[in-house]
């Protein structure tokens, strides 16, 4: 077996930025780490799918939308993640703070709904997930 090169985090960031730029038709420099994909960059669900498949082709690491959803929800059942109006509750918010380093509930302008959770996901969050998956694959 030849030695496998494990890409550095910087490579992963540029891979994500290139995938985002190509999928959304924007300049890679606009895909800054702190930009939210569905929010600030305006990605639709098919754009997110496009980004993930571009990443897969470029890095051979497969990340699915349900991987992202699982990360964000952390296996917490729907009814324990939010209240009856699907507003994310304390347990949900605590989990989000643990998986999204930039997330701070005190800076929310309005109550966070289950639907809005995916909108918190940033270029950096996707990069971190990619790095984690690549490392898991390399050590497997």
Partner 1 sequence: MKLKDRTALVTGASRGIGRAIALALAEQGAAVAVNYRSRREEALAVVKEIEAAGGRAVAVGADVSDPQQAKRLAEEATAGLGSLNILVNNAGISDDGLIYDAAPNAWWNVMKVNFGGAYHTTHAVMDQFMAQGEASIVNISSAMGERGWIGQSNYSASKGALNSFTRCAAIELARFGVRVNAVLAGFTPTELVEEVFQRDGGKSIKRQIPLRRFATVEQVAAAAVFLAGPDSGYTTGELLTVDGGFSAQLGIGRP
Least distance to partner 1, CB of residue 50, Å:
5
Q: Which is nearer to partner 1, 9 or 45 (CB)?
A: 45
Lookup: tokens for 130 = 């990619």
Lookup: tokens for 122 = 């940033």
Lookup: tokens for 80 = 């324990």
Least distance to partner 1, CB of residue 63, Å:
12
Q: Which is nearer to partner 1, 23 or 93 (CB)?
A: 23
Q: Which is nearer to partner 1, 21 or 112 (CB)?
A: 21
Least distance to partner 1, CB of residue 47, Å:
8
What are the φ/ψ torsions at residue 72 (nearest 5 degrees)? Answer: -70, -35
Q: How far apart are CA 95 and CA 71, in angstroms?
A: 9
Q: How far apart are CA 2 and CA 79, in angstroms?
A: 48
DSSP-assigned letter for residue 110: S
Least distance to partner 1, CB of residue 99, Å:
25
Q: Which residue ranges make up the site for partner 1 (CB under 8 A)?
A: 23, 46, 49-50, 53, 56-57, 62
Q: How far apart are CA 69 and CA 132, in angstroms?
A: 16
Q: Which is nearer to partner 1, 1 or 46 (CB)?
A: 46
């Amino acid at each position: 077996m030849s030695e496998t090169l494990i890409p550095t985090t910087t490579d992963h960031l540029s891979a994500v930025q290139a995938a985002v730029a190509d999928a959304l038709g924007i300049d890679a420099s606009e895909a800054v780490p702190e930009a939210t994909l569905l929010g600030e960059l305006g990605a639709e669900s098919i754009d997110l799918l496009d980004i993930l498949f571009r990443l897969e082709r470029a890095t051979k690491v497969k990340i699915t939308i349900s991987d992202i959803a699982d990360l964000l929800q952390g296996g917490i059942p729907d009814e324990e993640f939010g209240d009856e109006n699907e507003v994310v509750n304390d347990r949900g918010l605590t989990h989000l703070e643990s998986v999204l380093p930039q997330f701070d509930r005190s800076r929310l302008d309005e109550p966070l709904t289950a639907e809005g959770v995916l909108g918190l996901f940033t270029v950096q969050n996707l990069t971190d997930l990619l790095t984690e998956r690549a490392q898991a694959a390399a050590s497997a």
